[in-house]
Structure 1
């Protein structure tokens, strides 16, 4: 049996005020092509289908189109809700979706949902465990609430109530949790102080564990416990990550073959450092770009000038010995498209380490604007 392991699609993601829906549509189409070429038997999506718990209509349409593409390939899909998802929205119409081969585990209950399959080597059971928190586990297991303090307590409790059968068959777990020892980056939402850490040992009875939550593809503890990672870079902190999909081939019990297939995004991502003059002399690129300017004096109109070379410039950081710390500016929302109060707020924040002008200061600005308008009308 050949499984395609995906996670952390984050459909509807906005990167520095830039919608990534076009990029996500491009990469999902690529994933469909891989599924067809690789003769996949089923697709696993380990949570965080959407970026927001209330996804936009456009985001929902894109995911619906992806599921339709899988259905057209006669590929069943098994997915769980992640911490970014609304379990109710993800599971909406799940009974109807099952008729098309889409099996959805929301988080109505703190439970594991199991689906029996079979191939030439015998029985395979897929176990789906949506994102789980201690409070959720306490709600569904009140008699054990005193013993459920950490995320590990919560997962252990649920697994004890829903263990894999000791039948000699092969068992695959799909989960969306943070395992101790995994590599993280800035774009991921983790609990303070590592409170959401759980031990990989909790999954010892599973032949393969398909994880979501962390954006870097990686193994944890053993080769068959893996994060698929996100299909796109969703932060400049993910620059060094090589995005891929994971192909899992289950053969006889104890024989699991794993292959990662690289994904090629619509736009690359770069972080470029230098003076404005040096960067303007560089070759143009369509990549998403974060520029770090090192001019001692912040250049005037830098964003507009940089856009002549980097049309997908997303943000600029000003780095100078004259500043106590770097000053960060979003490139989206060009000054010529801003009204004056918005432009003033942006300028004030830049000059004051991100602080907002007070209401009294804004009243002064508005009063001056009104006075200028009157003078202009009189002339």
Structure 2
């Protein structure tokens, strides 16, 4: 068998809205380029390692863009493997799996053991599909005995990965020591969710990972990479951070060859830290910037000046202050926190981070979100 040529992608985040701006069209342009690469490079298989979508309920445009991508792949005669990430609507992906199958894409929204269908064969290559799974669900699925429930997420991951060991493995989880892109959901990167690289089965030829937005290799034996996000998704993600996709050659024997495709798809995002007296002098530069801007001003800033900036710079998405009354005058900018991050900070300030409250809070929040999205809610 000749080398199988894979296009490894992840973290599309279709439906991403950044401070009121829908980024879906930018992601769509990146997907069009990927389709051109598939045809040009003679790709045999496309893998998507999670987070096709940015949230459980996305626009019709975002869903249509994903379907169109896989239909175009079918026209090219190229199959695809897809797993759900922590942002994806897992139940919806499972429900739509038969339709995706008609387009040549095998989709997994929930974790399955090998004997349940967690390993598939495509083009003569066996592939394991392990979507993102919460700690509570994974431990319950893998560690069946009550006396084992005290064991960790990492231990449960080790067991299910060993069960799924295959030449090609897809996963959506964070490995210890990984360099995040700064736009990921922090709760699912650290603590109990950080998995040691030693859990990766040595029998795998290539492990195609998603979840981390910065493209990087994280293991040599087995060869494991994060593909990175397609575009710069958030202001916290550095402009120069590697992202894009990976062209991977998996021969029957011999070393796996990985060719990073590092592109600057989508509009760039820039954060500028300025003093009030510098604003007028920097306006011409800001007007020429081709992407979206976030301006952090040192000290106080009147509402009138903020309004003038927004009116003069249509691509300005945020004006924030640092070192003024808004942040207590300590010179640091308080980031916008989600509910989980805010509760995490609250617990740490009170010395209660070891009580398991954050995990339970996160689970309740997820259940509420799913209930709110359920039909008839």
| 8 Å CA contact 1:207, 1:254 repeated in 2 | no
Alpha-carbon distance in structure 2 between the residues aligned to 1:228 and 1:3: 12
- 1:190 is aligned, of 180, 186, 190, to 186
Q: TM-score, normalised by structure 2?
A: 0.77
Q: CA deviation at 1:272?
A: 2.0
Counterparts in 2 of 1:306-345, with a 5 A limit? 306-307=309-310, 310-320=313-323, 323-325=329-331
Provide the secondary structure at the position in 2 that maps to 1:69: helix
Cα 1:325–1:36 change in 2 (3 A) is: same
**Cα offsets for 1:283-316 (capped at 9, x unmatched):** 522311111223x552453344334664211111
Cα 1:83–1:277 change in 2 (3 A) is: same
Counterparts in 2 of 1:69-108, with a 5 A limit? 69-107=72-110
Q: CA deviation at 1:108?
A: 6.1
- 1:201 is aligned, of 195, 198, 201, to 198
Equivalent residue number for residue 134 of structure 1: 135
Cα 1:80–1:297 change in 2 (3 A) is: closer
Q: Is residue 116 of structure 1 aligned with residue 114 of structure 2? A: no
Cα 1:129–1:108 change in 2 (3 A) is: closer
CA RMSD of aligned residues (A): 2.5
Q: TM-score, normalised by structure 1?
A: 0.76
Q: CA deviation at 1:33?
A: 1.6
Cα 1:328–1:20 change in 2 (3 A) is: farther
Cα 1:117–1:146 change in 2 (3 A) is: same
Cα 1:30–1:163 change in 2 (3 A) is: closer
Unpaired segments of 5 or more residues in structure 1? 165-170, 331-379
Rg comparison, structure with higher value: 1
Alpha-carbon distance in structure 1 between the residues aligned to 2:252 and 2:171: 23
| 8 Å CA contact 2:9, 2:227 repeated in 1 | yes
Provide the secondary structure at the position in 2 that maps to 1:175: strand
Equivalent residue number for residue 339 of structure 2: none
Structure holding more helix per residue: 2
The number of residue pairs the alignment matches comes to 319
Alpha-carbon distance in structure 2 between the residues aligned to 1:136 and 1:110: 14
Unpaired segments of 5 or more residues in structure 2? 337-377
